Amino acid sequence: MTQLDWYIRNELRSRHFRLLVALDELRNVGKVAAHINVTQPAVSKMLAEMEKGLDLKLFERTPKGVTPTHYGECLIRHARRMLNDLAQARDELHGLLAGDSGRIRVGVLSNVVPALLPRSVALLKQRSPRTNVLLREGTMERLLPLLLQGELDLIVGRLAEKHVLPELGGKVLSQEPVMLIARPGHALARRKKLSWADIMDCQWVLPSSEGLLYEPLERTFEQHGFPKPANFIEVLSVQFVLAYLQQTDAIATMTRDIAHHYRRQGLVSVLPFYFPKLIRPLGITWNLSRTMSPSTTLLIECLEEAAASGMPA
């Protein structure tokens, strides 16, 4: 057994994991000492003991602070994962003591919130009332690191490219077309059919460059021989899109289920123009390195059932 093997097996503790994560986040020994309520010499001593025990340099010391080495980055990544696993175990044990059936942490893209997810969670609560669900909304760029670090159990949204992150598993829920929407009573809503020429002179509310729809939409404009609209704004917030459309003659893109959801509420008109396969399918993404809990498996079943039932027109 090597020194590294022996030290990891016999000496590494959760306090070491917390120190590593704090050093990575704060990059300053003084700030870390204040954060974990110990002295600066105690932080330096614990780090030095770890490096000696592993026989590896984990951080570079500079006048401005500390920066993790490649060895440090590797250990920090696993430390985060183990701390998240311990936190999840704690929450599950508290839940069992309280009579709960589990806790699921779900990352969700904003365009999934109004339609599919409420139906799915409602099904879950019917079947397992004491299962708790924590939802965190964001872009895929922000949610994927949380999934990889063990801070989320699932992401519901557009499936990530397989070749980008091979450690992720995925399952397709549906392939929706993208629709054009406008305010109720918009002149284009009275037309039975629209052409590209009819829509390109409009003011557009385009998806933000952070969103998954941005690049496919730009490519579609090019493929049909049109430049990107000259009169546009870029928005990530669905709520802003809805509010802005009410006050202007702008048009915007939205996936079919979400568009019809807001149409039924009288907030938008769905225009007679759509993009059949503009974006990747809607689906579920999970971390293949983590064991899926029974509660998470049940939520996936509810998501599949809700997606299969579709949305009424």
CATH (domain of 123) = 3.40.190.10
Q: Is residue 90 in some structural domain?
A: no
| pLDDT value, residue 182 | 97
Rounded distance between C-alpha atoms, residue 254 and residue 267, angstroms = 13
Contacts of 154 (CB under 8 A, 6+ apart): 104, 105, 106, 107, 147, 284, 285, 286, 296, 299, 300
CATH (domain of 30) = 1.10.10.10
* Residues 213 and 145 reside in one and the same domain: no
Contacts of 195 (CB under 8 A, 6+ apart): none
Rounded distance between C-alpha atoms, residue 182 and residue 165, angstroms = 36
Rounded distance between C-alpha atoms, residue 144 and residue 140, angstroms = 6
Q: Is residue 255 in some structural domain?
A: yes
**What stretches of 110-268 adopt beta strand conformation (E)?**
131-137, 154-158, 168-174, 178-182, 204-207, 232-235, 251-255
Mean pLDDT of successive 10-residue stretches along the chain, which has 313 residues: 86 92 93 91 93 93 92 94 85 69 85 78 92 89 89 87 72 88 95 91 88 82 87 90 95 89 93 82 89 90 88 50
Of 204, 187, 181, the C-alpha closest to 254 is 181
- Per the structure, the count of domains in the chain is 3
* Residues 9 and 38 reside in one and the same domain: yes
| pLDDT value, residue 120 | 93
* Residues 169 and 198 reside in one and the same domain: no
Of 54, 49, 61, the C-alpha closest to 23 is 61
Give the H or E element holding residue 263.
helix 256-264
* Residues 46 and 18 reside in one and the same domain: yes
Tokens of 80: 């985060």
| pLDDT value, residue 163 | 47
| pLDDT value, residue 251 | 96
Using the structure block, give the residue that is written with the tokens 């549906």: 174
* Residues 142 and 261 reside in one and the same domain: no
Domain that holds residue 20: 3-79
Query: What is the pTM assigned to this prediction?
Result: 0.61
